[in-house]
A and B are shown apart, each in its own frame.
Chain A
Amino acid sequence: MTVMTQGRAERLIDANLLEALTVPARQGDYPRESRAFVRIDTSLRIYWHTLFDICPGLLELSSPDGLSIFRPFMAWAADEGLSLNWTYYLWVDVWLRRSPFAGRVTPELRLSLIGASAARWATGDRSEAGGIVLSGLDAADLVCGWKARSIDAGRQIERIELEDPLPAAPEPFGFFTVPGGELDGGFPGWTPIPR
């Protein structure tokens, strides 16, 4: 917010807005016509697009602008201190299942969210792992994300149905990573997803 003090505008730097860049409600702390307001809006829009461009099925549940999902989810995520890392979509799924939208969440929509998180891991993770396995809709239904293994290919997302289900994953989701590009190293046990 630009405040006039002793005849000159007070300096506002990007770091002053860090608390607000992920929290829709904090945008209202700044006047609508200020650059800070637009800066925060620009930041929030990227979270919006990251969610609804990848899982457009969410827009069928919410108002067409998605805000009846986006705003309460982001507020909850802020309260919970969620990292909004590759697990972003998984926590949206968790929130949806506890929300007024719960009765309308289809398995297809849930799978699109789980697949989106697997894809985000596969493009963003910088560890030595080559793939991730996520618990899907149940213990026999896994979603895998594989990092790109060729310069002309992208990451791959794969849904695997097991004949012999793995032990039940921790709630709300479990994951494990695999070194290479295949699910051949056995089951190392589930890790609960990070917050």
Chain B
Amino acid sequence: MKIGFNFTLGETLPLVRSLLASGRIDYVELLIDNFLAIPEEELAAGFDVPVGFHIMFSKFIENDAVALDSLASRLRRLIDRMSPLYVSDHVARFTHDGRQLYHLAEIDYAADYGRVRERVDWWQQRLGRRLFLENYPSILDGGHDAPAFFERLCRDTGCGVLFDASNAVCAHLNCGVPLEAWDGIIDAASHFHTAGYNLSILQPHLVLDTHDRALSDATMAFLESRRERFDTPGATMTYERDDNFDELDIASDLDRLRALFADDAVAPPVERAAP
């Protein structure tokens, strides 16, 4: 299992460099649409390890074709130049009636299927690459439809799933989607995410995908219970952190992941020279 860390731009660069230097991560996942004003050469030379491309704000299900065409042509140049390990995007609602949702909403998997399928076909074609689509951290009952939705979408469009293990744990805790419901998707997937989550301020508590703390015991247990399903040749696991950038805390989670997926469970992290 290759272990990676997300980089969204700017202030966490020293942290990412330090995680690379200590051998704790093997690749960097770039929130690629944040980097589009950076000269291509600089971006391509930015890391001497592989990168993953995570597209955050294409809004490819909702956005107009002109804006998406422009975005796709710029992404495509970077894809051709940097050959990322994967190109991923999100199945979620970013707007409603033209109004921006700051906490992304879950789509209606039944009602929206046709539109999403059409858009995935089109967006993959524009990007010239197979897309890996991330599962949403479900809060309400619609989450029960997600596993079958993704299986059908993969069958119909040839896309893959970027399976976020802790998002599945959120959905399990929030609305009882059984973790086993994802087993077919995990078997077919090679690219994974995991992160810490937190409880809502108000009760009854919701489990929110906050990326601001250590992995939960439930997430670790989920990964352990399916270690062989996750860890197949070419598999990647990105540890996401978007707040509370405590390096010791992050390093300890990365070490836990590395130990879990190590061929020989006691292998220490490899020291690598700082770039």
Select one of B10, B70, B106, B208 contacting A153, CB under 8 A.
B10
> Is B67 interfacial (CB-CB < 8 Å)?
yes
Given A35-B139, A39-B139, A148-B9, do A15 and B108 touch, yes or no (CB 8 Å)?
yes
Shortest C-beta distance, A17 to chain B (Å), equals 8
A83–B10 touching, CB < 8 Å: no
B: which residues have CB within 8 A of A? Answer: 9-11, 13, 33-39, 42-43, 46, 57-58, 67, 70-71, 74, 93, 95-103, 105-108, 111, 138-142, 174, 200-206, 208
Chain A contacts with B in 1-55, Cβ cutoff 8 A: 11-19, 21-22, 33-39, 41-43, 45-47, 50
Please tell me if the beta carbons of A39 and B10 are within 8 angstroms of each other in the complex.
Answer: no
Taking a contact as CB atoms under 8 Å apart, the answer to whether A46 and B10 are in contact is no
B102-A50 in contact (CB<8A):
yes
A83 to B96, CA, bound (A): 9
CA of A37 to CA of B201, assembled, Å: 12
CB of A152 within 8 A of CB of B142, answer no
For A170-183 the 0/1 string (1 means CB < 8 A from B) is: 00000000000100
Q: Are B93 and A151 in touch, CB under 8 angstroms?
A: no
**In the complex with contacts A11-B141, A15-B142, A38-B9 CB distance below 8 A:** no
Q: List 9 A-B contacts (CB under 8 A).
A: A15-B142, A17-B140, A38-B200, A81-B98, A83-B100, A84-B102, A123-B34, A126-B67, A149-B37
CB of A63 within 8 Å of the partner chain: no
CA of A39 to CA of B201 in the docked complex: distance in angstroms?
A: 10
Q: A38-B200, A42-B206, A149-B39 are in contact. Are A127 and B67 (CB under 8 A)?
A: yes
How many A-B residue pairs have C-beta atoms within 8 angstroms? Tell me. Answer: 131
| A130 sits at the interface (CB 8 A) | yes
Q: Is B108 a contact of A38 with CB atoms below 8 Å? A: no
**A50 cross-chain contacts in B, Cβ below 8 A:** 102
The chain A residue with its CB closest to the CB of B107 is: A15
Query: Per DSSP, are chain B's interface residues mostly helix, strand or loop, or mixed?
Result: loop
Closest to A45 in B: B201
From known contacts A149-B39, A150-B42, A153-B10, infer whether A43 and B103 are also in contact, taking CB-CB under 8 Å: yes
Is A154 on the interface with B (CB-CB < 8 A)? yes
> How big is the A interface, by class?
35 or more
**Which residue of A has the minimal Cβ distance to B63?**
A126
A124 within 8 A of B: yes
The answer to whether B93 touches A18 (Cβ under 8 A) is yes
Task: Say whether B38 contacts A13, CB under 8 Å.
Answer: no
Contact A130 B37 (CB under 8 A): yes
- Closest B residue to A11 by CB, please name it: B141
Assess the A39–B102 pair: CB atoms within 8 A.
no
Q: A15-B93, A42-B206, A149-B37 known; A128 and B70 CB under 8 Å?
A: yes
Contact at B9–A15, with CB atoms within 8 Å? no
A binding-site residues for B, Cβ under 8 Å: 11-19, 21-22, 33-39, 41-43, 45-47, 50, 81-85, 123-124, 126-128, 130, 147-154, 181
Chain A residues lying within 8 Å of B43, measured Cβ to Cβ, are: 151
Chain B residue at smallest Cβ distance from A16? B140
| B10 and A152 contacting across the interface, CB-CB below 8 Å | yes
Are B58 and A41 closer than 8 Å at their CB atoms? Answer: no
* Residues of the B chain whose Cβ atoms lie less than 8 Å from the Cβ of A154: 9-11
Is there contact, CB below 8 Å, between A82 and B201?
A: no
Whole-angstrom distance between the alpha carbons of A119 and B217 in the complex? 38
Report the bound CA distance from A21 to B101 in whole Å. 7
Question: Which residues on A sit within 8 Å (CB–CB) of B13?
Answer: 151-152
Is the beta-carbon distance between B202 and A38 smaller than 8 angstroms?
yes
**Given A148-B34, A150-B38, A12–B141 Cβ distance below 8 Å?**
yes
A82 and B34 in contact, given A13-B108, A38-B202 (Cβ under 8 angstroms):
no
Q: Are A14 and B106 in contact (CB under 8 A)?
A: yes
Contact partner, A35, options B9, B58, B93, B206, Cβ 8 Å: B206
A150 to B37 CA separation, bound complex (whole angstroms): 8
Cβ–Cβ contact A21 & B96, under 8 A? yes
Nearest neighbor of A129 in chain B, beta-carbon distance:
B37
Contacts A15-B111, A21-B105, A151-B9 known; 18 new A-B pairs at CB < 8 A: A12-B141, A13-B142, A14-B139, A18-B101, A19-B96, A21-B96, A34-B204, A38-B203, A38-B205, A39-B139, A41-B201, A81-B98, A83-B99, A84-B100, A84-B102, A148-B34, A151-B38, A154-B10
